[in-house]
Amino acid sequence: MRNFLIRRALYAIPTLLGISIITFAIARLSPGDPIRLFTFGIKDFTQEDYLRLLHVYGLDKPIPLQYVDWISNAVRLNFGESLIYHREAGAMILERLPNTLQLAITALILQLAIGVPLGVIAALKRGSWADGAIRVFGVAGHAVPAFWLGQMLIILFAISLRWLPSQGMLTVGKDQMDLLDRLKHILLPAFVLALVGIANYSRILRTETLDVLGQDFIRTAHAKGLRERVVVYVHALRNSLIPVVTALGGILATLVGGALVIEQVFSWPGIGQFTFQAAIAKDYPIVQAGVMIASTLLVISYLLRDITYAIVDPRIKVS
């Protein structure tokens, strides 16, 4: 296992390096000049001012040299200073990362808490109206665009019914530790973010449970006279969950990616919304820090998935 971990960690280095080069190149070569962008229309801003700012931010150097400067600092976790905020970009991303993780983890819990029971119910009630309804829900969960659903839920629960807030993480003026208020704020964005996963898990669980229920050891369990509940929840479900558990590692990365849209809809102050706005403003250091930190998370989550996979199913070996 130790060799496996070391090898996988080493694989991550060229991956992250490649991502850094691609991100850097796309950001620098796409049309637009960040200094011109954030000074557009400023009174009395002169050509001399423009050249001064280009120099201050190191943007007057050739792009390969800019990359060398950047990567040599990035390996020491210094991603450069934001062109707009005048602060260290990595620190600004890390300030917002817990908010994104909070949303992603809540969504993950909702996916499991709703998706797993739905899948089991659909399998046990195969062919019934409940099975049909869950399958329709599964298809709808994939088909409905998150930004549209989010807006519809805001209109229903926040504007019309006034049950839940429409935006943010916490009511202004509330104590930061007010868990009930936080729960109210996270409910809608986490649900919308979780929806695709709920649909996925219910589908996977339904298929797996049906498969397991038809196997010999289940028949044996029945023959031994075990109660139905024990057969399903102790013997069948445990085996059905294997693919779900192995999928967990990768799902976190998917959730962090999906949070970009959800954070926009619900004004959730996470890295998705922040990096998106930085990309529009061509604030290179923020974009690069955001992409690198998210990529590192992704690499780690895939690593965790592989480890989980190896633990759950020892037949799988790393070649």
Partner 1 sequence: MRRLVAVLGAAMLVAVSCSSSATPGGGASPSAASTETPQQGGRVIEATISDIATMQPVLVNDTASGRITALLYDNLIQVDYKTGEPQPRLATFSVSSDSLKYTYTIDPKAVWSDGKPIIADDWLTGLKAVGKSKKTVRKSSFTNIQGFQEYSDGKATTIPGVSIDPSNPKKFTVTMAKVTCSAIIDNIGYVLPTQVFGKYVTDASKDEIDSAPENTAPTVVSGPFKLNEWRKGDQVILDKNPTYWQGAANLDQYVYKVVANQTAITNGLKTGEITFGTIQAKDLADVQTVSTVKIDKYQNLGYTFIGWNTASPTAIGLADKRVRQALAYGIDMDQVIKAVVFGEATKQVAHHVPVQWAYPSGIQLNQYTYDKAKAQSLLKDAGWTPGPDGILQNKDGKKFNLTISTNSGNTERETLATVAAEQYKQLGINAKAAPEAFQGLVTKLTTGDSTLEATIIGWSLGAEPDPYQIWHSSQIPDAAKNVQGFGFTFFKDPAMDKAIEEARNPSNGDCSIAARKKQYETFNQILNENQPYNFGYANNVLAVSQNSLQNFKPGSFSTVYNVYQWWVKK
Q: If binding is defined by CB under 8 A, does position 186 make contact with partner 1?
A: no
Q: Quick check: 84 and 281 in contact, CB under 8 A?
A: yes
**35, 38, 41, 44: CA torsion to nearest 10:** -60
Q: If binding is defined by CB under 8 A, does position 182 make contact with partner 1?
A: no
The binder of partner 1 chosen from 6, 21, 39, 128 (CB under 8 A): 39
Interface size with partner 1, residues (CB under 8 A): 57
The binder of partner 1 chosen from 168, 215, 230, 313 (CB under 8 A): 168
The CB-of-27 to partner 1 minimum distance in angstroms stands at 11
User: With 0-12 CB in 10 A as exposed, 13-18 as middle and 19+ as buried, what is 83?
Assistant: buried
Q: Which is nearer to partner 1, 39 or 220 (CB)?
A: 39
Category of 189 on φ-ψ map: left (φ > 0), alpha (ψ -120 to 50) or beta: alpha
Q: Which is nearer to partner 1, 70 or 274 (CB)?
A: 274
The CB-of-236 to partner 1 minimum distance in angstroms stands at 44
Binding to partner 1 by CB under 8 A, coded x per residue (else -) over 107-146, reads ----------------------------------------
The owner of tokens 């009395």 is: 44
User: What are the start-end ranges of the E strands in 207-260?
Assistant: none
Alpha-carbon span 309 to 147, nearest angstrom: 33
Q: If binding is defined by CB under 8 A, does position 33 make contact with partner 1?
A: yes
Alpha-carbon span 9 to 103, nearest angstrom: 27
Alpha-carbon span 61 to 189, nearest angstrom: 43
Task: Summarize as ranges the residues that interact with partner 1 (CB under 8 A).
Answer: 30-33, 36-50, 52-53, 56, 82, 84-87, 92, 95-96, 99, 151, 154, 158-159, 162, 165-169, 171-173, 263-270, 273-274, 277, 280, 282
